[in-house]
Structures are given as structure tokens and as C-alpha cells.
Amino acid sequence: MRDLYSNIGVAAAIVPAVKSSAADGITVDTKGFSSVAFVVNTGAIVSDGDFGVAVFESDESSANFGAADAAVVDSNAPATLVASSTYKVGYSGHKRYVRLQLTKAGGTSIACGAVAVLSDAQKRPVS
């Protein structure tokens, strides 16, 4: 199939909400896909909120997550996220499980959410 809809999977990565602290995102299982990218969407930032995102990876679904090496992460997100913006964060490593981490260096809060887009499915169409 040549349509995008039938060839990608999507998963929640950070539930959209106003965030006031650093937090781990939702673990994404990449089994059955060869690539994954995250789409991060921000809203309002309160009191000079200084938040960023980082990619973490693991071979296990719920343990031993570590920061992904910079060589396997591509991103147009700045170190400090900007209000009302959209960013993409790609992961090209080989770990089965990945997740975003919302980091906080200061300020009060940020409205933020993210989804994972999984592509290059081994079985198509993707349900």
C-alpha cells in the first residue's frame, strides 16, 4: 500500500497536560517496526518554564532505561522548549523500548504532549 495511514503505528509518548515537574514519558515498544520518531507539541509556558525533552532506551519494557547516545537521536527541539511549538525527535538506535523524558531546569509549568510515530512496519497494513 502506498498510503501513509496503513504503514505507520502511533502511540502516546507524553499524555497532553500541564506539567510542573520533570517526568518519564510512556514506554513505546518498537517491535514490528524499523524506525520511530516523536512529535512533541507545546502550549503555554508559565513563569519562564525551562523544559526540554530527552530520549531514553532499554532492552526491557519497564527497567534499565538509560539516556540514548546523541549519535542515535536527531531533533529540531531546542534545549529549552518554546511555547506553542511543534518539534520532531527521531531515534535510530537498536533498543526495543524507547521513551521521552520531560526535563525541567526551572520555571513553573508547561503544557506539553507527544506521540510516537512508528514506521517501516514489518507487517502491512498496520492495524
What is the per-residue pLDDT across 8-55, written as a single tens digit (0 to 9) for each?
A: 999 999 999 999 999 999 999 999 999 999 999 999 999 888 999 999
pLDDT of residue 123: 84
CA–CA distance, 117 with 103 (Å, rounded to integer):
21
pTM: 0.93
- Kindly state the percentage of the chain with pLDDT values over 90: 83
Cβ atoms 41, 111 nearer than 8 A: no
